[in-house]
């Protein structure tokens, strides 16, 4: 299977280097959690992979395909993004929004084919929003909306799905259901999934592998148990943290060490 | 909401045909529909009726009313289509065809022509028209270049540049008018959309801009839908955002500039018609844009009909009618609607 290989990329914004030299390999299928402090370069890395932000050096390969040499349309057929803050036109219906995910496959003058409708129906069903397809997106709850955005990304039939803070602003029940959905993407869709998360405990629960990033550099990469050591996290987050191991699940649990009271 | 795209287009097409018939029939000399029919059949050499009564209407119909109605239809279609395009492109419900400085630039161009008493009529059309067209295009060019930040044209920067440069042009227009008060009335009339005549020439000049402009806008209608997800997402879906922006701004600007040059600054059409039609057709630009073409044309033909007749023999600038009738209609639609239109 084709892994996503990022080798020695460097990204700058306004002459300021955000990512100096970063290499990362993402397995397929597989879920990698990208964790790190604010401003560490998580969103920049996602933008670099999608081509929205140009990279000044390095290579990104999907299997043997050089992503940087692909046209924007070809890249959009392989890589889809679920952004953290996305404008949503309230007056579009759910199925119209999901259909926009077919854009990379449609020449500008051509309308959707039966196959496009079939792909959209599959995406709506997999994300459990099929019953909402005639609803206006402006009428949806936060949890429903997030599923619709994921459905739109699935309609792109990508090999790689990038999710930026997919559970932010959701309550516990909806967080759990979004995480279950993301988990199914590797088994059902055979995808490479990269997700950024502020909540590093949730990342540990959801991802097989985590990458800890700060100052645009991957500080550690591996299983949550290996990556989450109190010494490393305290240094990266510049805060004293404590790592406890869940007795029954063998998962690390990270908490702030300071007694805040 | 009419769900079938064919039904809504058909309804608007019938309205447009009715508006055109009323537009050519009603006036200081009413022409009975039966005679309009005979005259058109005669012109097409299908019949050959040579009754005195019919031929006296011929000049009024073919040389005065028809070109005027055609110009109004083209102008309304251009403004409504350009308005919908700008609203989609800027993802801003308040965007109208004049947003990026076309109007103020055209106003300045026209005022320069009026106050310097340029009276030549090259190409058989008023120099005011040519000056307005040039003023509009030059101003948008300056706005786009000002707003360009290293190969991209951010939407908010462009809106601000449009407002700033537009204000500069408006101030210059006012200054010119104050210095040459004798041109004030003419400049003022032009700005409110007073018809300047010119027979079929303006129509012939406008048609290429309309055809090219709508062609470029219509083939990008689905891309405009994708644009509603924001620029970054559109880019991630494979849309060449910067190229699309330039194509659509150029197309909408050419349509607007040609409309403004011949029709003057007719307000509200480009803002209200697209919103009213969104309620009818939904937000999909593939349905909305053709409806704007038809609906904008009908609205302006009917407004012009009112402008010519309600205070006859005095003719009102059509901009007054579009504002006076469009606003209450729009308020009615907004109040009736439970959800946000845009």
Query: What does the pLDDT look like over A205-244, one tens digit per residue?
Result: 888 899 999 999 999 999 988 999 888 988 988 888 888 8
Instruction: Work out the number of other CB atoms within 10 angstroms of the CB of residue A166.
Output: 25
**Listed residue (A27, A67, A63) closest to A47, CA to CA:** A67
Contact A89 B230 (CB under 8 A): no
**Listed residue (A95, A162, A87) closest to A123, CA to CA:** A95
Contact A138 B220 (CB under 8 A): no
Q: How many CB pairs under 8 A join A and B?
A: 84
Compare CB distances from A92 to B223, B228, B236 and report the shortest one's residue.
Answer: B228
- The whole-angstrom separation of Cα A6 and Cα A213 is 14
Residue of B nearest to A83 (CA): B233
Is A165 inside any structural domain?
A: yes
Compare CB distances from B219 to A73, A88, A108 and report the shortest one's residue.
Answer: A108
Residue of B nearest to A152 (CA): B237
Condensed to tens digits (0 to 9), the pLDDT of residues B13-38 reads: 999 999 999 988 888 778 887 778 77
Q: How far is A77 from chain B (nearest CA, A)?
A: 8
Say whether pLDDT at B195 is over 70: no
Q: How many domains does chain A have?
A: 1
Mutate to test the interface with A, among B149, B232, B236, B275 (most CBs of A within 10 A): B236
pLDDT of residue B294: 95
Say whether pLDDT at B336 is over 50: yes
Say whether pLDDT at B156 is over 60: yes
Is A213 inside any structural domain?
A: yes
Half-sphere exposure (CA, 13 Å, Cβ side) for A42? 25
Tell me if B194 sits within 8 A of B267, measured CB to CB: no
Residue of B nearest to A49 (CA): B236
Condensed to tens digits (0 to 9), the pLDDT of residues A158-173 reads: 999 999 999 888 888 8
Q: CB neighbours of B127 closer than 8 A, spacing ≥ 6? A: B113, B118, B119, B120, B121
Say whether pLDDT at A77 is over 90: yes
**Listed residue (B116, B158, B109, B159) closest to B137, CA to CA:** B109
Contacts of B223 in chain A (CB under 8 A): 103, 108
A 81-110: CB under 8 A from B: 81, 83, 86-92, 96-97, 100-101, 103-104, 106, 108-109
pLDDT of residue B70: 93
Which pair of structure tokens corresponds to residue A205?
């629960």
Contacts of A89 in chain B (CB under 8 A): 91, 228-229, 283, 342
Is A65 inside any structural domain?
A: yes
Compare CB distances from B233 to A74, A83, A109 and report the shortest one's residue.
Answer: A83
Residue of B nearest to A161 (CA): B236
pLDDT, average across residues B301-308? 91
Contact B239 A72 (CB under 8 A): yes
Note down the domain range covering A9: 4-220
**Listed residue (B194, B201, B264) closest to B67, CA to CA:** B201
Proportion of chain B above pLDDT 90, given as a percent: 23
Does residue B338 sit at the A interface (CB-CB below 8 Å)?
no
CATH number at residue A49: 3.40.50.300
Q: How far is A92 from chain B (nearest CA, A)?
A: 6
Alpha helix stretches (DSSP H) within A39-161? 42-50, 72-76, 94-99, 114-126, 142-154
Contacts of B240 in chain A (CB under 8 A): 72
Q: How distant is the alpha carbon of residue A244 from its chain centre?
A: 26
Confidence label for B1 from pLDDT (cuts 50, 70 and 90): very low
Condensed to tens digits (0 to 9), the pLDDT of residues B263-274 reads: 777 878 888 899
**Listed residue (B228, B247, B246, B245) closest to B237, CA to CA:** B228
pLDDT of residue B342: 60
Say whether pLDDT at A114 is over 50: yes
Beta bridge partners of A16: A13
Condensed to tens digits (0 to 9), the pLDDT of residues A33-44 reads: 999 998 888 989
Residue of A nearest to B222 (CA): A108
Say whether pLDDT at B150 is over 70: no
pLDDT of residue A104: 92
Say whether pLDDT at B341 is over 60: no
Beta bridge partners of A252: A245
pLDDT of residue B296: 95
pLDDT of residue B117: 67
Tell me if A152 sits within 8 A of A97, measured CB to CB: yes
Q: How far is A142 from chain B (nearest CA, A)?
A: 16
pLDDT of residue B148: 77
Is A253 inside any structural domain?
A: no
Question: Do the bridges between strand A209-214 and strand A30-35 make them parallel or antiparallel, or are there none, so unpaired?
Answer: parallel
User: Which domains does chain B show, CATH number per domain?
Assistant: 5-336 (1.10.3470.10)
Higher-confidence residue of B102 and A140: namely A140
Contacts of B341 in chain A (CB under 8 A): 91
Which pair of structure tokens corresponds to residue B134?
């040039």
Contact B235 A52 (CB under 8 A): yes
SS3 per-residue string spanning B281-333:
HCCCHHHHHHHHHHHHHHHHHHHHHHHHHCCCCCCCCHHHHHHHHHHHHHHHH
pLDDT, average across residues B284-296? 93
pLDDT of residue A88: 86
pLDDT of residue A121: 95
Beta bridge partners of A162: A81, A194
Confidence label for B154 from pLDDT (cuts 50, 70 and 90): confident
Contacts of A136 in chain B (CB under 8 A): 339
Mutate to test the interface with B, among A100, A150, A160 (most CBs of B within 10 A): A100
Contact A92 B233 (CB under 8 A): no
Does residue B84 sit at the A interface (CB-CB below 8 Å)?
no
Is A10 inside any structural domain?
A: yes
Contact B341 A136 (CB under 8 A): no
Confidence label for B119 from pLDDT (cuts 50, 70 and 90): low
Is A249 inside any structural domain?
A: no
**Listed residue (B323, B252, B268) closest to B102, CA to CA:** B252
Q: How far is A95 from chain B (nearest CA, A)?
A: 12
CA angle B31, B32, B35 (to 5 degrees): 90
A 202-221: CB under 8 A from B: none
Higher-confidence residue of B70 and B282: namely B70
Which pair of structure tokens corresponds to residue A117?
């409708």
pLDDT, average across residues A100-119? 88
- The whole-angstrom separation of Cα B218 and Cα B214 is 6
- The whole-angstrom separation of Cα A218 and Cα B21 is 72
pLDDT of residue B193: 64
Give the 3-state secondary structure of residue A189: coil
Proportion of chain B above pLDDT 70, given as a percent: 88
- The whole-angstrom separation of Cα B165 and Cα A114 is 48
Cα–Cα distances in angstroms (integers) from residue B21 to residues A208, B16, B29, B65, B301, in the given order: 71, 9, 14, 10, 10
Measured between alpha carbons, how far apart are the two ends of chain B, in Å?
Answer: 14
Compare CB distances from A50 to B220, B226, B236 and report the shortest one's residue.
Answer: B236
Is A227 inside any structural domain?
A: no
Condensed to tens digits (0 to 9), the pLDDT of residues B170-183 reads: 899 888 888 877 77
Its sign, for the CA torsion A235, A238, A240, A241, is negative
Tell me if B79 sits within 8 A of B63, measured CB to CB: no
Which pair of structure tokens corresponds to residue A44?
């920049």
pLDDT, average across residues A138-144? 89
Average model confidence (pLDDT) across chain A: 89
Say whether pLDDT at B94 is over 80: no
Question: Do the bridges between strand A160-164 and strand A79-82 make them parallel or antiparallel, or are there none, so unpaired?
Answer: parallel
A 23-82: CB under 8 A from B: 47, 50-52, 71-77, 79-81
pLDDT, average across residues B305-318? 84
Is A44 inside any structural domain?
A: yes
């Amino acid at each position: 299977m084709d892994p996503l290989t990022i080798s020695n990329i460097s990204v700058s914004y306004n002459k300021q280097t955000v990512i100096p030299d970063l290499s990362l390999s993402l397995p397929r299928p597989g879920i990698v959690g990208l964790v790190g402090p604010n401003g560490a370069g998580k969103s920049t890395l996602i933008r670099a992979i999608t081509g929205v932000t140009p990279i000044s050096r390095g290579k990104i390969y999907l299997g043997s395909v050089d992503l940087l040499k692909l046209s924007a349309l070809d890249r959009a057929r392989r890589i889809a993004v679920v952004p953290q803050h996305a404008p949503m036109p309230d007056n579009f219906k759910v199925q119209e929004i999901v259909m926009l995910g077919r854009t990379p496959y449609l020449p500008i003058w051509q309308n959707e084919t039966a196959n496009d409708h079939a792909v959209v129906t599959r995406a709506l069903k997999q994300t459990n929003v099929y019953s909402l397809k005639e609803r206006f997106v402006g009428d949806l709850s936060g949890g429903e909306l997030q599923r619709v955005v994921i459905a739109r990304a699935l309609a792109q039939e990508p090999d790689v799905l990038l999710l930026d803070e997919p559970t932010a602003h959701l309550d516990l029940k909806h967080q759990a259901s979004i995480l279950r959905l993301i988990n199914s993407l590797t088994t059902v869709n055979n995808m490479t999934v990269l997700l950024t998360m502020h909540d590093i405990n949730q990342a540990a629960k959801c991802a097989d592998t985590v990458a800890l990033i700060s100052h645009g550099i991957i500080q550690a990469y591996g299983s949550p148990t290996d990556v989450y050591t109190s010494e490393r996290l305290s240094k990266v987050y510049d805060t004293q943290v404590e790592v406890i191991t869940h007795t029954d699940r063998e998962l690390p649990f990270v908490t702030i060490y300071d007694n805040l009271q | 909401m009419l769900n079938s795209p064919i039904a809504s287009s058909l309804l608007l097409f019938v309205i447009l045909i009715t508006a055109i018939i009323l537009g050519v029939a009603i006036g200081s000399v009413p022409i009975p529909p039966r005679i309009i029919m005979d005259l058109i059949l005669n012109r097409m050499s299908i019949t050959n009726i040579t009754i005195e009564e019919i031929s006296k209407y011929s000049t009024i119909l073919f040389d005065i009313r028809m070109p005027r109605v055609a110009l109004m239809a083209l102008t309304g279609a251009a403004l409504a289509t350009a308005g919908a395009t700008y609203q989609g492109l800027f993802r801003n419900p308040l965007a109208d065809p004049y947003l990026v400085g076309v109007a103020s630039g055209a106003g300045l161009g026209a005022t320069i022509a009026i106050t310097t008493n340029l009276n030549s009529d090259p190409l058989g059309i008023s120099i005011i028209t040519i000056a307005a067209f040039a003023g509009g295009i030059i101003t948008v060019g300056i706005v786009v270049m000002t707003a360009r930040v290293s190969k991209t044209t951010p939407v908010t920067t462009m809106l601000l540049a449009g407002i700033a440069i537009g204000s500069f042009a408006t101030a210059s227009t006012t200054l010119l008018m104050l210095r040459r008060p004798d041109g004030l009335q003419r400049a003022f009339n032009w700005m409110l959309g007073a018809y300047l005549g010119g027979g079929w020439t303006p129509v012939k000049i406008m048609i290429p801009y309309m055809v090219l402009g709508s062609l470029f806008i219509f083939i990008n209608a689905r891309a405009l839908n994708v644009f509603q997800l924001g620029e970054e997402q559109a880019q991630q879906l494979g849309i060449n955002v910067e190229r699309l922006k330039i194509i659509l701004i150029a197309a909408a600007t050419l349509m607007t500039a040609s409309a403004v040059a011949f029709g003057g600054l007719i307000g509200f059409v480009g803002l209200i018609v697209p919103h009213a039609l969104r309620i009818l057709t939904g937000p999909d630009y593939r349905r909305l844009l053709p409806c704007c073409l038809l609906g904008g044309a009908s609205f302006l033909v009917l407004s012009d009909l009112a402008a010519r007749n309600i205070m006859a023999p005095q003719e009102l600038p059509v901009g007054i009618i579009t504002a006076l009738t469009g606003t209450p209609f729009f308020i009615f639609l907004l109040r009736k609607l439970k959800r946000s239109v845009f």
